[in-house]
Every structure is written in structure tokens, then in C-alpha cells.
A and B are shown apart, each in its own frame.
Chain A
Amino acid sequence: MQTKKANKLTVSELFGKLLSQQIFIPIAALLLLAIFNLIADPSFYKITYGINSAGAPVLSGYLMTILDYGSELAILAVGMTLVTAASGGQDISVGATIAIAGSVILRVLCGTNSRPDTLQAPIIVAFLVACVVAMIFGAFNGVLVAYFKIQPMVATLILFTAGRSIAAWINNNELPIISDPVFSYFGGFIPGIPIPTPFFIAAAVVAVAALALKFTNLGLYTQAVGINESSSRLNGLNPAFIKFLSFVILGLCVAVAALIKVSRLSSINYSVIAKDIEMDAILAVALGGNALSGGKFNLTASIMGAYVIQFLTTTLYKFNVQSDALPAYKAVVVIFLVVISSSVVRDYLRNIGSKISKKGVA
């Protein structure tokens, strides 16, 4: 009798623990989508091995597409999670900053001629310049938020509005096109490696972020600032600097995402590149179960969230859902998440949970 009771308790405890785990939300969403696809059409999971037009071996199939196109979002989710945790707000200018960083990359590669036969500078130089520029723009947002105490969404609204025009000016409103095949490796395949490069880039970014969180106090400090700014100050932290830093880190993530974006087409269109990607990045953070009001965060969950969003997008494309209706489906997901994570629903669920476990005891 005694043992049975203990058993029951652990089962409900285990269930409760699983539910309360942050990563449960994206994993559940992923499973739901995966099962739906398995039932609707198992060929979704087919991966074929072939040769691309450059003569290199490639793997293709819906799963590869998800890994490929979800990568920019995963990279942005890393930065956006830190910004959300530290400042309790979101940066809505990432799409526009991607346009700027992408424009800088092309500008450096092309020089003054918008259609060069040879690259005017090594790709790594162009990328580093773009990193610096994107971090400066991130710093601009960071200063407004951290030192001028402007709400993040309002502060980043400035670049959200002006960013794409700035991007156009950087290249004199021309549309540079890069013909060097090496440049297309970053958004495509490196010859000989059958897995899309963006996935490796995303993995590298995630690894760097994980190492930084493990070996520095960045994660701890960020959470402390997000949870309670004044108490973190009393404990000797500089909350403004931590917030500022999070925006600069997001700037770096933006530059990496921009490299992938411009590499995909070897060109840029200022008004539509990475359009609405900020909303997807914020959604990834929310889907990861992170509180959008700041504080504790889970990077792994956010990255999972990013791939779940791409999973959803790819699934919808597969079923020929009109692409202008995609935001509506994402909105449904958002509504569901927001309602689930609201304190009212959580309290209600907790009550039900405790009633069940009480009954179990009785």
C-alpha cells in the first residue's frame, strides 16, 4: 500500500515535471507536426541523394529543406532570446538590419561596380565588415534601450522603418549580383558535403553561444537583470551594460544570418529580403517557452522553436496553402501559446493537477 502510493505520486510528479519543463512546449509542437505529416503523407520524410548542378553530392527532401531554411531563424533566435531575457522586450528591426548587413557584404565584395567579374575583396573581409556594421546598429538600439530607457519595441521601430532605405543607399540603390560560385556556398552546398551549409553555420553559432554561456557569467547576469533590475544592481551588476551587450550580440547574429540570406540568391532586394523575419524570431522565442517579459531563458528551447516554425512553414507549403495565408496559421500558434502560458490558464491547470493527485492519494 505504502509503495503504491509512492509510485502514484512519482508518476504524477514526473508528469508535472515534464509539463513544467520549458523545452516541453517546442518538443510537443514538433511531435504534433511530425505525427500529422506521418499520417497525412509519409513521403514527407523521404530523403534522396543526388548531384546538384555544380556536380556536388547533395541530400534533398523536406527534412533537408527544414534544416536549410530554418537556420537563419535559429541564428536569430539565439540573439533574440538574450535580448528578450535581458530587456524584457523584443528587437523588431532584425529584418531591416539584415538588409543593411547584406547590403554591406555586397558593397564590399563589389566595390563600385555592381556586377563585378571578380570579387573586389575576400568574402571573409566583407563578412567581418558586415559584422562590425550590424553590431554598431545593434549598439544603437542597445543605447536607446539601456541608457535612454526607451521601450525596446519603440526604440527598434526607428531602424525597422529606416533600415531598408539605409540598405538601399549603401549600394546607391543598385542591385549588385555576384557571379563567383564560392559566394553561393554559404546559402547552398559546399562541394563534396551533402548537407546544406546554413545548417553548419547555425550549428557553429549555437556552439559558440553555448560555450559563452557555459564559461562566462553572461547567462546568469542576463537572467538576473531580466528578473529584477534593481536587485541585480544592488548585487554589483551593471544592468544597462548587460542590456546593451545583448543587443550587440543580436547584431552579430544578424550579420551571420545576412550572409546566408544574400548568399542564397547572390543578390539582394532591399524591400523584401528577410521580410517579417523579426516576427518569426520573436515567435521562436515564445515557442521556446521563454517569458517575453524577460528573466529566465532557455536557448535550446528557442532554437527548437525556430526549427518548429520552419517545420510548420514547410508543411504548409507542401499542402499548397497560399503563402499569404501563412501568417494566419502562425497567428493561431501564437494565440494558442499565449493563452497556454498565461497565469490564469496555468493556475487553472495546476489546480486540476493537484485535485487529481489528491484523488490519487485518497
Chain B
Amino acid sequence: MKKKLLGTLVCIAMVSSMLVGCGSTAATEAPATEAPATEEAAPTADAATEAATEEAAAPAADGELIKVGIINNDPNESGYRTANDKDMKNMFTEENGYEASFAYSLKNDEQITAAQKFIQDGVDYLLLSAADTAGWDSVLQDAADAGVRVILFDRTIDADESLYEASIVSDMAKEGETAVEWLKSQGLDEYNVIHIQGVMGSAAQKGRSGALDAAGFNIVTQQTAEWNAEKAQQIVQSVIDSGESFNVIYAENDDMAKGAVAALDKANISHGVGKDVIVMGFDCNKWALEELLAQNWNYDGQCNPFQASYIDSIIKDIQRGKAMTEKTIIMDEKGFDATTITQEDVDNYGI
């Protein structure tokens, strides 16, 4: 009797643990199967919404769709990347004369594998935002041999210029300079700056830090918060605890500025237009621009994720046989001042 009971219990336990096991693996596998599905569905789904907004379709000379392979970083990486990916998907649709395939990875080797696959598939253009600057020479040579034209966007690579048609990038140093010029124009009696840096060595950090370092302000503290709001909050908290005075927070992205502001709020230090502390951020997230609109922050520098229209015009030029004048194309980027920003700016430039 006892044995029987034990047997049944064991059976139930095994079945239930199997069920639990199955349930959980299904949950973790779901993303893997979901990702490609959305990629395939995206162009057609976007097509409907895009038809109204986009200019008249410009099919290739022979009336066929232009095949493009797009290799990007993981859209979940940041708000910038999400906006960038959405922009690409909206532009490269069948209505606009493109047949697009997408591949995402934050790893260079996976991106290279994807590039090789696209070349084998015989795409006309390879659009690339490389995860790492090195290691692209041979695969780009393969692309050139196969007659695939390469256009870089957002990130540059260490390869010979002849291997790609064009590179569309943000000038991070210029973003920093625009911000620092704006700060200088505020005409404060003294500048005591808390400088919160991004991940050290990243292009955005180097460009945005470089401009501030050159400006010669009094830097109260200069710390990397690694794009992390919590760390920024602790860094500013530490300065507040030490009792040192400061009147500018120069955070190299919006998240870190938000963390810094949380620390200010806790300590009753006023910030924003006409207040004790000037708050500066970068990237123009929509919520950050709304803070500007509410005059809680003072400045936000743009890092333009909308490269698709630039790429589109380059491809059209190449199709028409027009020669490129410049290999490197730097996008227009703005800086927003809380005193002049409008709701329209928030809607147009917020990411």
C-alpha cells in the first residue's frame, strides 16, 4: 500500500516537474522564435502605415525591387537604437522600392556571418552598423568581388575607404562642442561642473568629454556612470554629501541626467531654467525633451538616429550613376534649449 502511494507520488512529481520544465523552456525559447517572425512581418506591416507618409516610390531603373541587407545592433540596446531600427524599417519597404532583410547582433562575429549570408543571397546593397571597428576587411572585399555595394551607418570601421561607398555618422565631438558653446553663452559668474561620463572609450564619451575638457571650466567631479542612471545618482549624491558647491550638471546621456536630477530632488537643490543648477543631457529621448519643455532641465543635445533618408538618397544617386562627392557624411544635429523648445520639437525629434 505504502509503496503504491509512493509510486503514485513519484509519478505525479515527475509529470509535474516535466510540465514545469516544459513551461519554462517554452517561455525562454519564445523570444528566439519570435524575433525572426517580427523581422519578416515588419516590412509588410510597416508598408501599410508608410504608404501615406512617404514620397512617391522610386523603383530601380529596371522596375525591380532593390535588395538591401541591413545589419544592425540589437534594437533593445537603447532608445537610440530602437528609433534607428524603426526608421530603417519605415524607409526600406516595398512601397519605396526596396526588398529588405534584417540581421541584428551586438557581436562582431555574428554580424560578419550575417554579412556573408547576405552576400551569398545576392543583395544589391549591404547596410552596416558594425558592433566593432575591426575585422571587416575580408568580408567587405568579398562583397566588392560579388558586386555588392556597402554603406556604413552610425558607426565607422577600420577598413580601407575603397571598400565602402559611404559612411553616415554622427560627429560626437561636434555634439559636445555645440553643448559647451551653449553653456558658455549662459554667461554664469562661475562654472562649477559635475561631469558624468558614459562608458569610457566609447565614441560618444570621447567626443562629448573632449569638448568639455577643452573648455577649461572648474570641474567639481569627473566620473563615469557608464550610461547608468543609478550610478549617476550615487555620484551626484556623493558630491552633495561632501558639501561642495556646483551649478552645472553635464551628463553625457539623458539617463544619467535623470539619475543626477533624482539626487538633486532628494536634497532640495533646484534645477532648470533660472534655478540653482543647470542640467544638460544628450540623445533627445522624448521624455527628456518633455523635461526641457517643463523647464526642469536646461539643454539636450541631439544624437541623430534617423539615417535612413540619407541612405535612401545615396542609393538613388548611385542608381542614377551619380558620383559621390564625399565618403563621410555627417548628419545635422541640433541642441535644444529649454527656453526655446516647442511641443513640435518634442514630437519631431524625440526618440
Contact = CB atoms under 8 A, between A and B. Distances in A.
Contacts of A19: none
Given A52-B266, A53-B265, A189-B266, A322 B224 contact: yes
A148 interface: yes
Contacts of B270: 53
B266 A188 contact: yes
A269 B255 contact: yes
A181 B225 CA distance: 26
B231 interface: yes
Interface stretch (A165-173, A203-211, A337-345): A165-173
Interface in B207-240: 221, 223-231, 233-235, 237-238, 240
A15 interface: no
Interface string B122-166: 000000000000000000000000000000000000000000000
A214 to B, nearest CB: 31
B238 A65 contact: yes
A314 interface: yes
Contacts, number: 117
Interface residues on B, range: 35 or more
A140 B240 contact: no
A147 to B, nearest CB: 5
Contact of A314 (B77, B223, B238): B238
Nearest to A176: B287
B258 interface: yes
A290 B268 CA distance: 41
A195 to B, nearest CB: 13
Interface stretch (A21-29, A260-268, A296-304): A260-268
B103 to A, nearest CB: 17
B49 interface: no
Contact of B226 (A50, A165, A265, A323): A323
Contact of B268 (A53, A62, A69): A53
A173 B82 contact: yes
Interface stretch (B17-25, B54-62, B112-120): B17-25
Interface in A241-276: 261, 264-265, 267, 269-275
Contact of A273 (B230, B241, B265, B267): B230
A132 interface: no
Given A265-B230, A324-B224, A177 B287 contact: yes
B76 interface: yes
Given A265-B229, A272-B228, A272-B229, A318 B266 contact: no
Interface string A322-340: 1110000000000000000
Contacts of A169: 31
Nearest to A140: B24
Contact of A317 (B20, B230, B234): B234
B256 to A, nearest CB: 10
Interface residues of A, number: 49
B320 to A, nearest CB: 38
Contacts of A43: 242-243
A58 interface: yes
Nearest to A189: B266
A323 B225 contact: yes
Contact of B28 (A162, A189, A274, A275): A162
Contacts of B241: 60-62, 65, 318
B200 interface: yes
Contact of B235 (A54, A272, A323): A323
Interface in B234-280: 234-235, 237-238, 240-243, 255, 258-259, 262, 264-270
A11 interface: no
* 10 pairs of A and B residues whose beta carbons are closest in the complex: A317-B238, A272-B228, A52-B268, A53-B268, A140-B24, A62-B241, A53-B265, A168-B76, A147-B17, A324-B224
8 contacts: A53-B266, A60-B241, A165-B76, A189-B266, A272-B228, A313-B234, A322-B223, A323-B231
Given A53-B264, A272-B228, 12 more contacts: A50-B267, A60-B267, A65-B238, A158-B28, A168-B76, A188-B266, A264-B230, A265-B258, A269-B228, A271-B78, A317-B238, A323-B231
